[in-house]
Copies of this chain bind each other. A is one copy, B any other.
Amino acid sequence: MEKNKKLVEQITSMEVDFAQWYTDVVKKAELADYASVRGCMVIRPYGYAIWENIQKNLDDAFKATGHENVYMPMLIPESLLQKEKDHVAGFAPEVAWVTHGGDEKLAERLCIRPTSETLFCEHFAHIVESYKDLPKLYNHWCSVVRWEKTTRPFLRSLEFLWQEGHTVHATAQEAIDETIQMLNIYADICENVLAIPVVKGRKTDKEKFSGAEATYTIESLMHDGKALQCGTSHYFGDGFAKAFGIQFTNKEGKLQYVHETSWGITTRLIGALIMVHGDDNGLVLPPRIAPTQLMIVPVAMHKAGVIEKAMELKEKLAKIVRVKIDISDKMPGWKFSEYEMKGVPLRLEIGPKDIEQNQVVLVRRDTREKMFVSIDELETKIPEVLEDIQKSLLVRARVAQQEKTYEAQSLDEMKEILDSKTGFVKAMWCGSLECEEKVKEVAGASSRCIPFDGDVTSKTCACCGKEAKHFVYWGKAY
Contacts and interface: CB of A to CB of B under 8 A. Distances in A.
Interface of A: 2-6, 33, 35-37, 40-45, 48-49, 51-52, 68-77, 80, 92-104, 109-110, 112, 119, 122-123, 126-127, 129-130, 132, 138, 142-143, 145, 147, 158-159, 161, 249, 253, 328
B130 A3 contact: yes
A331 to B, nearest CB: 14
Contact of A70 (B42, B73, B101): B42
6 contacts: A2-B253, A37-B76, A71-B161, A74-B159, A94-B102, A96-B101
A52 B139 CA distance: 13
Residue of A35, A143, A159, A328 with most chain B CB atoms under a 10 A cut-off? A35
Contacts of A40: 73-75
Contacts of A5: 130
Nearest to A72: B42
A74 B77 CA distance: 18
Copy count, this protein chain: 2
A70 B97 contact: no
B97 A68 contact: no
Instruction: For the complex of A and B, list the 4 residue pairs with the smallest distance between their C-beta atoms, beginning with the closest.
Output: A4-B129, A45-B68, A40-B73, A101-B147
Contacts of A147: 101-102, 104
Given A35-B123, A36-B80, A100-B97, A6 B129 contact: yes
Contacts of A159: 73-75
Question: Which secondary structure dominates chain A's binding surface?
Answer: mixed
A323 to B, nearest CB: 15
B98 A69 contact: no
Residue of A101, A102, A127, A130 with most chain B CB atoms under a 10 A cut-off? A101
A122 B41 CA distance: 12
Given A2-B130, A44-B70, A97 B98 contact: yes
Contacts of A93: 102-103
A400 to B, nearest CB: 30
B97 A71 contact: no
A161 B5 CA distance: 38
Nearest to A51: B71
Nearest to A104: B147
Contacts of A104: 147
B43 A71 contact: yes
Contacts of A129: 3-4, 6
B2 A77 contact: no
Nearest to A149: B102
A270 B5 CA distance: 46
Contacts of A253: 2-3
B98 A112 contact: yes
Given A3-B253, A42-B71, A98-B97, A77 B36 contact: yes
Contact of A96 (B52, B98, B145, B158): B98
Contacts of A103: 93
B68 A126 contact: no
A242 to B, nearest CB: 19
Residue of A45, A69, A71 with most chain B CB atoms under a 10 A cut-off? A71
Nearest to A129: B4
Given A40-B73, A42-B73, A70-B43, A35 B122 contact: yes
A69 B96 contact: no
A64 to B, nearest CB: 14
Contact of A110 (B3, B37, B68, B102): B37
Given A52-B69, A74-B145, A42 B119 contact: yes
A225 to B, nearest CB: 30
Given A36-B122, A43-B70, A99-B97, A130 B4 contact: yes
B74 A4 contact: no
Nearest to A328: B132
Contacts of A42: 70-73, 119, 123
A319 B195 CA distance: 32
Contact of A35 (B72, B92, B132): B72
